[in-house]
C-alpha cells in the first residue's frame, strides 16, 4: 500500500478520534484541536493546533505524533522537534494505527 493513502486515512481517523473526545466532554465546536502535518526530511510531524472560541489559533500548537515517511511507523514525540526512540504502531495496519493512539497522541509503551 502507498504511504500517502494510508497517511490520509490515518489523519481522518485520528482527527475523528480527537473531535469525538472534545464532543463527548462538551467542548466542541468552540474548543478543540485541529491536526495538521509538517513534512520534514525523514518524518512527517503531526501538530495539534488549538481551537479556541471556534477559531484556529495559528500561534499555538504542539507535536502530537511523528510518522516515518518510508515505513509508516508512528512515534510519540520526545520533544517538539524529534520523535521518541520506539515506534508505537504503524499507519500501514488495517486500523491506520488507531489502536496505538489516544486523543492526546500515541500511547506510552
User: Phi/psi at 9 (nearest 5 deg)?
Assistant: -65, -40
For residue 109, the model assigns a pLDDT of 86
Q: Which residues of the chain have pLDDT under 50?
A: none
What pLDDT shows up at residue 80? Answer: 95
Question: For residue 51, what are the CA distances in angstroms to 16, 22, 57, 66, 77?
Answer: 15, 11, 6, 21, 21
DSSP structure class, residue 1? -
Q: For residue 29, what pLDDT is reported?
A: 78
Structural domains in the chain (count): 1
pLDDT at position 60, please? 85
Q: What is the pLDDT of residue 1?
A: 59
Domain that holds residue 39: 3-106
Amino acid at each position: 500500500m502507498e504511504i500517502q493513502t494510508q497517511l490520509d486515512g490515518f489523519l481522518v481517523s485520528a482527527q475523528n478520534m480527537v473531535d469525538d473526545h472534545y464532543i463527548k466532554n462538551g467542548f466542541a465546536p468552540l474548543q478543540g484541536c485541529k491536526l495538521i502535518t509538517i513534512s520534514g526530511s525523514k518524518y512527517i510531524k503531526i501538530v495539534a493546533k488549538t481551537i479556541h472560541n471556534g477559531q484556529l489559533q495559528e500561534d499555538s500548537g504542539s507535536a502530537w505524533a511523528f510518522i516515518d515517511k518510508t515505513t509508516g511507523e508512528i512515534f510519540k514525540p520526545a520533544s517538539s522537534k524529534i520523535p521518541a526512540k520506539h515506534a508505537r504502531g504503524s499507519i500501514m495496519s488495517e486500523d491506520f494505527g488507531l489502536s496505538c493512539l489516544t486523543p492526546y497522541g500515541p500511547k506510552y509503551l
